[in-house]
Copies of this chain bind each other. A is one copy, B any other.
């Protein structure tokens, strides 16, 4: 019997490939369907190899979760950095970016939700979520502060924090429903809906944020 020919990859490349295969399978078949064998098949690799990179299946799944959330928050931070200019434009672009593709994605929401569902049964997962959430809040706060200052609104840290919590809530909520593509409305409206709401939340004049909407 002849063996399958294979390619030796560097540790990082193979490891990342395994993590991405894990996310693909979990997203497609759910946690119940995410067996070691199916993940290995997706990665084009024999099942035994997984134990060469991860001590246990759960280690791999948790690593995949961290990989996912790191990617999401990193992209969010990049979008925030890219949106330089006036404060309102930066904030608007950040919100808009989170509510358009590729952020709007059934794949990502499915995974995000799946892992939140594991929060309670496994302490490791809740740490990952909390860290990602905190980071997102910090990014939002940093974007909110200059907008408040430029508009002569109260900009103390408590206010910033509470506005960030509220605006993160609306972005998250719309991100979820928009990504699930249930057909109840056109998710192309979401950026406008969100920005109009954020204007109100921050008590800014109408149009302050929505006028920065880009097609």
Contact = CB atoms under 8 A, between A and B. Distances in A.
B185 A28 contact: no
A177 B184 contact: no
B30 A197 contact: no
Interface string A184-200: 11000110011011011
A29 to B, nearest CB: 5
A166 B174 CA distance: 7
Interface in A194-209: 194, 196-197, 199-203, 206
Interface stretch (A10-18, A46-54, A84-92, A120-128): A120-128
Nearest to A58: B32
Nearest to A110: B120
Chain copies in the assembled complex = 2
A interface majority secondary structure: helix
Given A111-B117, A172-B173, A137 B184 contact: yes
A31 B28 contact: no
Contact of A126 (B114, B171, B182): B182
A106 interface: yes
Given A165-B193, A170-B173, A197-B201, 19 more contacts: A32-B32, A106-B120, A107-B120, A109-B116, A113-B116, A114-B114, A116-B180, A117-B117, A129-B180, A130-B180, A130-B183, A130-B184, A133-B184, A162-B189, A162-B193, A166-B193, A169-B171, A169-B194, A170-B170
B169 A117 contact: no
A72 B94 CA distance: 32
B121 A28 contact: yes
Contacts of A126: 180, 182
A137 to B, nearest CB: 7
Contacts of A172: 169, 172-173, 176-177
